[in-house]
Amino acid sequence: TEQRRTEIHREAQTTPEAYEAYGKGLVATSYEQQLEFFSLSIQKDSSFFYANLAMGDPYNREGRFELAIGEYDHVIQENPRCSHAFYGKGKAYDGLKRPKLAAAAYRTFVKLAPSKTSKVVGKIKQRLRDANEDKDDDDDRPRRRPLKKKDKP
C-alpha cells in the first residue's frame, strides 16, 4: 500500500534510485520483473535490506528456497529484529522439508512480530504446538543411544 511504501522510504534512508526500483518491483506482475527490479535496487544501494527481503518472497513462491534463505539471512544480518525475514525463512525451510529449522525460524518470528500480525502469529503458534519436533530433519537414520561409561569396552 502507498502508506507502507512511504513508511519504508522514510525508515530506509536509501537512494531515490534504489527506492524507485524497489517500488517498481513491488508492483511488478511477473516473477522475472520482480527479481529484475529488486536486483536493481540492491545494485543501487546494497545496504537497502528491504529489497533483499522483497526478493526472498518471489524465490519462495517459485520454489527456489535456498536462494530465498540467502536473501533472508542477508536481511537478518542487517536487521536482526526483522520478523518478516524469519517468517520467510521458516516458509523456505518448510519448502525444503526441514521442519526443525522451520520451527526455529517461526519461533523467532513469533517473538519479534508486531501486534498487527497477531492472526499470523496465532497460526504459527498453533502450528508449532501441533508439530512433532522429535524427528530429526537432516536425515532419517535411526538414532543410537549414547554409550554410558559402564557400556564402553
The 10s digit of each residue's pLDDT in 18-49 is 888 988 988 988 989 988 999 999 899 888 88
Whether the full predicted model's pTM is greater than 0.75, yes or no, is no
- How many CB atoms sit inside 10 A of residue 90's CB? 26
Number of Cα atoms under 13 Å in the Cβ half of residue 101: 16
pLDDT band at 149 (very low <50, low <70, confident <90, very high): low
Look at 72 and 12; give whichever has higher pLDDT: 72
**139-148, Cβ contacts within 8 angstroms, sequence gap of 24 or more:** none
Is the predicted pLDDT of residue 107 greater than 90, yes or no?
A: yes
Residue carrying the nine cell digits 526472498: 56
**In this prediction, what percent of the chain has a pLDDT beyond 90?**
37
SS3 137: coil
